Structure 1
Amino acid sequence: MTTKNARRRSRELATQGVYQWLLSGASESKIDAAMREQPGFNKADCNHFSSLLYGVIQKAKTLTKALIPFLDRPFYQLSPVEQAVLLIAVYEFQNHIDIPYRVVINEAVELTKTFGGSDGYKYINGVLDKLVVTIRFNEVKNRI
């Protein structure tokens, strides 16, 4: 399996884990153990999965604050899937600068299409398009 597919699988599992955390408040280690039991975990990029799951949970308040100016409603009113996807994307923008911002946005859109409501991906795309300029200004500027 290619790195891209392994990373996609790690994002899918991290999204499910963050979703579970948002709904249950379970500990990172408990969620981590549950996700590692999921079919296909062995095909994921384990390091990327761990970085996303633990990083998002540990920095959730800071990540949420970064999102608030770009939302049209309070964060808690978003669906848990949208919350999880946005938190993961912001975390990747801030902590995985080796991943191009367009890849992060595309992956977030794909995750929302997979796990979210029918048009949620459009909202996610719009929020992240505006947000990325504040985090990766030089990368965005160089692409224009």
Structure 2
Amino acid sequence: MKVSPRHKARELAMQGIYSWQMTGNSVDQIELSIATSNDMKQVDVKFFQDILRTVMLRMDELDAAMKPYLGRLPEEIDAVEKAILRVAAFELVHRIDVPYKVVINEAIELAKSFGAADSHKFVNGVLDKAVKTLRKDERTK
């Protein structure tokens, strides 16, 4: 199955955010590491950079947008799930050109690929609640 350039961008951005969460390395170091260890011809590079850099720059804002819907303390969330939710929060808040259903579906797919056994259920539940507030205008159309 052919993977879309945007899906690949989300996947690599999520991995970069995870790496950043674990190491604290700079965005430039993480971006270089990802770019040199992946075939970037299959990636929407601009979208990848936008996700990675905006999440790192606006982490507190994005975390605050998701916090009411977590159902547990943020520090109790697995690092992979946190990275996936940060990517999704970025898209819900800053990329309204991406339909919320696409954001949720992509996040679920990332959770199925990289998260623990039932991570996709947790991610789906959080995002399903979050879009009711973050994308309420889109949901009423």
TM-score, normalized by length of structure 2? 0.96
Match of 2:25 in 1: 26
Aligned residues: 140
Q: Distance in 1 between matches of 2:97 and 2:126?
A: 21
Kindly provide the CA deviation profile for residues 94-129 of structure 1, in whole angstroms up to 9, marking residues without a partner as x. 111111000000000000101100110000000000
Q: Distance in 1 between matches of 2:86 and 2:126?
A: 12
Q: Distance in 1 between matches of 2:104 and 2:48?
A: 17
| Residue identity in the other structure for 2:98 | I
Cα drift, residue 61 of structure 1: 0.7
Cα drift, residue 41 of structure 1: 2.1
Cα drift, residue 38 of structure 1: 2.4
Kindly provide the CA deviation profile for residues 68-117 of structure 1, in whole angstroms up to 9, marking residues without a partner as x. 11111111211111000001101001111111000000000000101100
| Residue identity in the other structure for 1:119 | D
Q: Distance in 2 between matches of 1:123 and 1:116?
A: 10
Structure 1: 4+ residue segments shifted above 6 A? none
| Ranges in structure 2 where 5+ consecutive residues have no aligned partner | none
Cα drift, residue 138 of structure 1: 1.1
Cα drift, residue 135 of structure 1: 1.2
TM-score, normalized by length of structure 1? 0.94
Match of 2:49 in 1: 50
Match of 2:63 in 1: 64
Cα drift, residue 67 of structure 1: 1.0
For the pair 1:119 / 2:113, whether they are aligned, the reply is: no
CA RMSD of aligned residues (A): 1.2
Match of 1:12 in 2: 11
Kindly, what percent of the aligned residue pairs are identical?
A: 39
Q: Distance in 1 between matches of 2:61 and 2:81?
A: 17
Q: Distance in 1 between matches of 2:4 and 2:39?
A: 11
- Higher mean C-alpha displacement, 133-142 vs 100-109: 133-142
Matches within 5 A, 1:88-103: 88-103=87-102
